[in-house]
Amino acid sequence: MSEALKLAEISYKNNDVPIGAVVVLNNEIVGSGYNRKELLKDASEHAEIMALKNAAKHLETYHLEDCEMFVTLEPCAMCAGAIINFRLKKVYIGAKNPRFGCCGSNLNLLSHDFNHKTEVEFNILEEECSKILSSFFSSIREKK
Amino acid sequence: MSEALKLAEISYKNNDVPIGAVVVLNNEIVGSGYNRKELLKDASEHAEIMALKNAAKHLETYHLEDCEMFVTLEPCAMCAGAIINFRLKKVYIGAKNPRFGCCGSNLNLLSHDFNHKTEVEFNILEEECSKILSSFFSSIREKK
């Protein structure tokens, strides 16, 4: 998760909501991503999607059944759907997202009746993951 | 929808499940997409995502509140989530997807309690949209 936090800092510097994600296979990072929504003016450029695409490219397959993801903020519906499509084994989450989180907070798509289910574990470096987000939103308010 | 069907034919020729999508603003196509999952070995390369990304690039914004989508098959969780993230006004759907469809069949994410809701209408050229899919799956079975 500390690697995902480093990626979130890249988003922060780009004036994007600081969210980072890594995909891991056998204790090795095979895909990295950070939120680039504002940078690329594209609402699909979330950290999780970038990390999944990079992992699929690196491993030359979209079957990521043996891979796990570490992500600093609970994935939204789009990203939870992508996690199912790539058939991830497990997702470790830093901060919860009560409004948009689809891994247990607002909805749980990961355990829903689709063709694949993904395990989930919360509270991984939760404090650090929440802190970078609140710091970002405070700085936005100050600028205004 | 006939334009979306033409795009689905590109997927068919690439040995991808034939699904096509267009994003429309003021009766003009501003984004086109077709399923490229097998072509690019990437489970996020659905027709809807490609069409949304193209529309955002073309319009230089991810706020697509005035745009509508025509898609030949009911969107999955990932694509329904993307439709919400890009804040589409309405989605017109050809064929239903009882197993994975997240616009009313398995789940309805478009009317769920997120920050945006998208209208949905089914049965637009439903017969043609179903036919291209069943033709594709028959040809796959024959090859086997």
d(CA B94, CA B20): 10
pLDDT at A21: 98
Task: Indicate if the pLDDT at residue A50 is higher than 90.
Answer: yes
pLDDT at B143: 83
Domain annotation for chain A: domains and CATH numbers: 1-143 (3.40.140.10)
pLDDT at B136: 96
- Looking at residues A11-20, what average pLDDT do you find? 97
Contact list in A for residue B102 (CB cut-off 8 A) is 81
Q: Is residue A143 very low, low, confident or very high in pLDDT (cuts 50, 70, 90)?
A: confident
For the segment B64-101, what is each residue's pLDDT rounded down to a tens digit?
999 999 999 999 999 999 999 999 999 999 999 999 99
Cβ contact (<8 Å) for A81 and B86?
no
Question: Closest Cα partner for A73 from A124, A12, A9, A137?
Answer: A124
pTM for the model stands at 0.95
End-to-end CA gap in chain A: 31
- Compare CB distances from A43 to B62, B77, B78 and report the shortest one's residue: B62
3 state SS of A13: helix
Q: What angle separates helix B2-13 from helix B126-143, to the nearest 10 degrees?
A: 10
3 state SS of B20: strand
- Which residues, given as ranges, of chain B have pLDDT below 70? none
A65 with A42: CB under 8 angstroms?
no
**Mutation for A interface: B40, B61, B85, most A CBs within 10 A:** B85
Question: Closest Cα partner for B80 from A97, A79, A46, A91?
Answer: A79
Rounded to the nearest angstrom, the minimum Cα separation between B23 and chain A is 15
Q: Which residues contact B80 (CB under 8 A, 6 or more apart)?
A: A77, A78, A81, B102, B103, B107, B109, B110
Q: Is residue A94 very low, low, confident or very high in pLDDT (cuts 50, 70, 90)?
A: very high
Rounded to the nearest angstrom, the minimum Cα separation between A93 and chain B is 18
Tokens 């990079």 -> residue: A54
